[in-house]
Structure 1
Amino acid sequence: MIAHQDVHVRDVERQAKHLDVTLIGVPLHGGGGAGSDYVARLKLAVDVIEGKLGSAVDALACGDLHLEHIRKWREDAVGKALVMKLAYPVWSDDARSNYDALREDLDASGVRCVVTAVTTEAAEAAGAKVGARYDGDLARAMKDAGVDAFGEDGEFHTLAEVWSVSRERALGLKAS
């Protein structure tokens, strides 16, 4: 299981297969603390990838939306240890200002998303239940309840069932 998200590794493998992207699993749990083990394991994974490719990995993409402290930690710990650029393709310096655009992209993709974990009572009270569909209505309910509409603060987690539509549509390469 993927920690915190309560998503099975098989679902992540299914996503990668459907999207036709290479997936390299990096087990991040073990001893140590304060993220040192995480960074060391990530570095080993990058070393393996570079060995297979025969060339350097230029950048690592991060899915963070707006949490400055997480970005700072990634840059200080991960970026420096791996000596590579970190990319933030969905980042907004103005917290939550990109949510409408992200929501529109998700809606246009037609990808079904489901809630896989709920960590706060506020999110649960607003309708985030394991198995519930994450859509515009649930996002609005989260916002109205004072919960981050995308769960960026860890209030809930989701799984994008990319296999529910064509690869091209899931990736935004065609409208339908």
Structure 2
Amino acid sequence: MELQNTMEKATFAGGCFWCTEAVFLELKGVKSVGSGYIGGHTLNPTYAEICNGNTGHAEAIEIVFDPNEISFGELLEVFFATHDPTTLNRQGNDIGTQYRSEIFYHSEMQKEISKAYISLMTEENTFDAPIVTQISPVSTFYKAEEYHNNYYNQNKLQGYCSYVITPKMEKLKKVFKDKLK
């Protein structure tokens, strides 16, 4: 008996999309990851427009995954472990609303799992400061310009990649080795 196509989508904003894309591309069950912009008011925004912080969009990734191989909850676990969900509109030196922490849910189940996960982390004092990650319904996801796709893997020696993304990748390999491809 052949399995039905059960692919699902998850959309996360966790700062620079080069960082989040690189992390999620490594996970078993993740079929594709695309960088883009979501949650703003400008139609067809460009990277240059996003960078000024005036469009309202967040840099985000859209993940296509097989829930038979990796659950939405497992994706959340990796999401929260690989960015700082306690800094409002900031990830490290990247500052602005485009670098906010936000989950854009595709179903009521994703919304409820996200709320429960944040509640559990809050209850367990997982972080030293309150979690500021927003939970919003998915809206139009605009794909980023082509050169943003697979950016880390194509530019590992670039300064930002080696100083910001490589340490995240090392943490991923240490903490989530059982979830890697």
> Structure 2-normalised TM-score?
0.26
- Name the structure, 1 or 2, with higher relative contact order (CA <8 Å, separation 6+): 2
More strand per residue: 1 or 2?
Answer: 2
Mark the structure with the bigger radius of gyration: 1
